[in-house]
Amino acid sequence: MDLKRLMMRFNNTRLVGKSLICFVGTFRGFDATRESLIRHLIQPLNADVVVCMVSSPEPLELLRRECASIGATVYDATYDSREQNYDLVFDRLSLELGVKPKWRERAEVAGNWLGGIGNRLGAGTHQLFNFWKLAQWLRMVRFDFDAYERVLVSRTDLRWLGNHPPLDLLQPQYLWTPSGEEYGGINDRHWVLPRGSEVTCLDALTPMLVGPFRHWKTHNLNRERFVAEHIRSVRVEARQFPSIAYLSGEL
């Protein structure tokens, strides 16, 4: 669906009872998880879908067909893999924000919170970028969050063993995450975002570039603790529901 039609839909329609699931990252694991994503996530939540990830036409078209069969719309927010040059992205964004590239100094704090940049192990930078990229897309289209009851961010390599908890059981003022995989912070593999604070929660990159940095004395900082500090800093409380999904590569 093109941007003009998207804006017309958001500006003129109240999508009562609908949620929006935003998939970020890549289509990793999609062949193994596709059925469970439709059956246990998208369909029970009466959701439309945003695909904000590296362009991959074949799985995107397959997802479109699967979603169309249950009456769900898929919005294409994919981008070229060349946009994942994190050094350039961080430097350019710093300039746009009018600050020197502080991230290079902050990157001296060891740990996988910036894994994936340079030779660092882990996927922290990927997740930081993925969430920021989604936040940018939502800002770009002037997304009317009130059009949907709730907004979620997730990934395609999660295999769901049962239906996602009904959203009316998850109070909208909180950030909801599955239990487990916290590693001293917050599980960032699947989020039910708090109503009214969706973009603020997603964008931990901008504060990292321009705001105070509280992790200088942290040893081996991981992405879960980094994200938890960001969520606290934006005055959102995180809560959990029992996890019923696992990464498809884990078993």
CA distance 80 to 55: 6
pLDDT (tens digit per residue) in 172-212: 999 999 998 888 899 999 999 998 889 999 999 988 888 77
Torsion 176-165-178-191 (CA) sign: negative
pTM for the full predicted model: 0.88
| Cβ neighbourhood burial of 49 (10 Å; 0-12, 13-18, 19+) | buried
Choice among 32-36, 68-72, 214-218, 245-249 with the minimum mean pLDDT: 214-218
Give residue 168's pLDDT.
92
Give me the mean pLDDT over the 91-97 stretch. Answer: 85
CA distance 210 to 212: 7
pLDDT (tens digit per residue) in 146-165: 688 899 999 999 999 999 99
Looking at CATH, the fold of the domain delimited by 3-247 is given as: Spore Coat Polysaccharide Biosynthesis Protein SpsA; Chain A (3.90.550)
Higher pLDDT, 97 or 145: 97
Higher pLDDT, 220 or 148: 148
